[in-house]
Amino acid sequence: MAPDQIVFWVFAPVSVGSAVAMLFQRNAIHAALFLIVNFFTLAVFYLVLGAPFLFAVQIIVYAGAIMVLFLFVIMLLGVDREESLVERLRGQRPLAIVLGLGLAAEIFVTARASLGLARGPANFDETVNVGGNAQALSHVLFRDYFLPFEVTSILLIVAAIAAMVLAQRRERTTVEAAGEAEV
């Protein structure tokens, strides 16, 4: 068995297990910690799949920035609130089982169809990652996808401003008092 296959079979159960464990945690903090484990295993998958730059980005952006944001909000809203995992809609479970089986069948058919696509084990690093993954990625990103890249930067700026405006606490006393004084 090739080394990357060994890595896959070691980390895939950890990844799926942490994802499922995340869903069945009553405590939001524990769910967030399981999600961090899941993000790290996915970073390992990127490494195995020939994307070392995405490996770094995954750990920095997801496990670093996004999860800190999540933990911050969970702490802000109070960690002691626990929710019940009981379903409330009637007849939801049998319907969900039927539809879930349908989805599983679709996934199975799709995976079977992709079996025929199997290619020879050509080396990704020699064909695409020439001169390094980050270099190859930047060649495509800054030449073919330059406009989407710039649009993404605008999106991030707008999102940051919107988050600030939304989460800002309105100063009732000063602003409205001033407005009433003018009236």
- Cα(41)–Cα(11) distance, integer angstroms: 6
- Our CB check for other proteins shows the closer of 156 and 178 to be 156
Nearer to other proteins, 147 or 181 (CB): 147
Contact 37, 11 (CB under 8 A): no
Q: How far is the CB of 90 from other proteins (least distance, A)?
A: 14
144 — phi, psi (to 5°)?
Answer: -85, -30
Q: Closest Cα to residue 164, out of 175, 176, 156, 154?
A: 156
Q: 8-43 burial, b if ≥16 CB within 10 A, otherwise e? A: beebeeebeebeebbeebeebeebbbbbbbbbbbbb
Looking at beta carbons only, is 167 or 181 nearer to other proteins? 167
CB closer to other proteins, 107 vs 175: 107
Which token pair is 34? 């399981």
Beta carbon of residue 98, minimum distance to other proteins (angstroms, whole number): 15
Shortest reach from residue 83's CB to other proteins, in Å: 5
User: 111 or 181, CB closer to other proteins?
Assistant: 111
Closest CA to 35 of 83, 60, 71, 76: 71
